[in-house]
């Protein structure tokens, strides 16, 4: 089992460029999440999808869009990257039950210059 | 005021000692509480979760929850150098979304 797979692992963008971060899980989980982690800020929720076909904004959605392509895949798109979006991005999935833990991918380290 | 607050540390303890990590939260509707461990450059991994007031033990780890005081803690007994990591407190509030604290960096000295 691969668990949660994120691609790419590293990315450097110039201001204004666009890109899509890919995430796939093979655990048949209903819920998927995108977080960003900045030094001293902890993990902050960008968007989440409680089930296939639904997406909702989290704490910091501005500048991002998401697509829940199917039950396995949940992508995060930056339409016009800004230096403030330099961060480590984590995708996660869970069963959605209250006791279900989040399973995290290995992260994408994004730098916007 | 941050919704979930942790002392950022760093917290240093000698090998074999008890490490005590603390977390407070602001949403009184919070129902689920989690502790994640994150090694440098890695993704977070779940250590424990707790829902009811009191203590919950799992091996060398004990989670403690006091909803009246809006306080949750993690005790690590017989600390090992391999426990050196950042510990993230996460709280599931009334919106059922996890809110993470900024983490406490723990160093266990050999």
B93 in contact with chain A, both atoms CB, cutoff 8 A: no
Percent pLDDT > 90 in chain B is 80
pLDDT of residue A111: 97
Give chain A's mean pLDDT.
93
Q: Provide, rounded to the nearest whole percent, the portion of chain A with pLDDT above 90.
A: 81
Residue A39 C-alpha, separation from nearest chain B C-alpha, in angstroms: 8
Neighbour count for residue A6 (Cβ, 10 Å): 22
Taking only residues 34 to 63 of chain A, the set having a beta carbon closer than 8 angstroms to any beta carbon of chain B reads 35, 40-45, 48, 58-59
Residues of A in contact with B31 (CB under 8 A): 98
Question: Which residues of A are less than 8 Å from B44 in CB distance?
Answer: 43, 90, 102, 104
The pLDDT score that the predictor gives to residue A1 is 63
Q: Computed from CA positions of residues B56, B62, B67, B72, in that sequence, does the dihedral angle turn out positive or negative?
A: negative
Mean per-residue pLDDT for A41-62? 91
The helix/strand/coil state of A84 is helix
Q: Tens digits of per-residue pLDDT, A100-113?
A: 789 999 999 999 99
How many CB pairs below 8 A link A and B? 45
Cα separation of A59 and B77, whole Å? Answer: 35
Amino acid B95: pLDDT = 59
* B68 phi/psi in degrees, rounded to 5: -65, -35
The residue with greater pLDDT, B9 or A70, is: A70
Q: What is the gyration radius of the CA atoms in chain A, in angstroms?
A: 13
What DSSP character marks residue A73? B
Residue B34 touches chain A, beta carbons under 8 Å: yes
**Which of A101, A105, A109 is the best substitution to test chain B (most B C-beta atoms within 10 A)?**
A101
Residue A85, helix vs strand vs coil: helix
Predicted confidence (pLDDT) per residue in B69-92, tens digit: 999 999 999 999 999 999 999 998
Across the interface, which of B32, B45, B101 has its CB nearest the CB of A98? B32
Q: Which residues fall within 8 angstroms of residue A39, CB to CB, at 6 or more apart? A: none
pLDDT score recorded for residue B96: 62
What is residue A28's predicted lDDT score, i.e. its pLDDT? 93
Q: What is the mean pLDDT of residues A84-100?
A: 87
Phi-psi region of B78 (alpha: psi -120 to 50; beta: other; left: phi over 0): left
Please state whether B29 falls in left (phi above 0), alpha (psi between -120 and 50) or beta. Answer: alpha
């Amino acid at each position: 089992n691969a668990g949660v797979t994120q691609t790419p692992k590293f990315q450097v963008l110039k201001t204004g460029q666009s890109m899509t971060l890919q995430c796939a899980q093979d655990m048949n989980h209903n819920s998927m999440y995108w977080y960003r982690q900045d030094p001293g800020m902890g993990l902050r929720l960008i968007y989440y999808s409680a089930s296939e076909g639904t997406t909702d904004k989290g704490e910091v959605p501005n500048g991002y869009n998401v697509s829940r392509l199917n039950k396995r895949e949940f992508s995060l798109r930056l339409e016009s990257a800004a230096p403030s979006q330099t961060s480590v991005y984590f995708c996660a999935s869970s069963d959605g039950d209250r006791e279900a833990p989040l399973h995290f991918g290995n992260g994408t380290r994004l730098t916007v210059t | 005021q941050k919704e979930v607050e942790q002392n950022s540390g760093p917290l240093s303890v000698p090998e074999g000692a008890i490490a005590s990590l603390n977390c407070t939260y602001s949403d009184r509707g919070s129902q689920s509480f989690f502790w994640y461990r994150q090694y440098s450059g890695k993704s977070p991994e779940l250590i424990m979760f707790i829902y009811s007031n009191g203590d919950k033990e799992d091996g060398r780890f004990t989670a403690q929850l006091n909803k009246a005081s809006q306080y949750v803690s993690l005790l690590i007994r017989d600390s090992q150098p391999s426990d050196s990591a950042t510990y993230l407190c996460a709280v599931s509030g009334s919106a059922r979304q996890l809110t993470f604290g900024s983490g406490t960096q723990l160093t266990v000295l050999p």
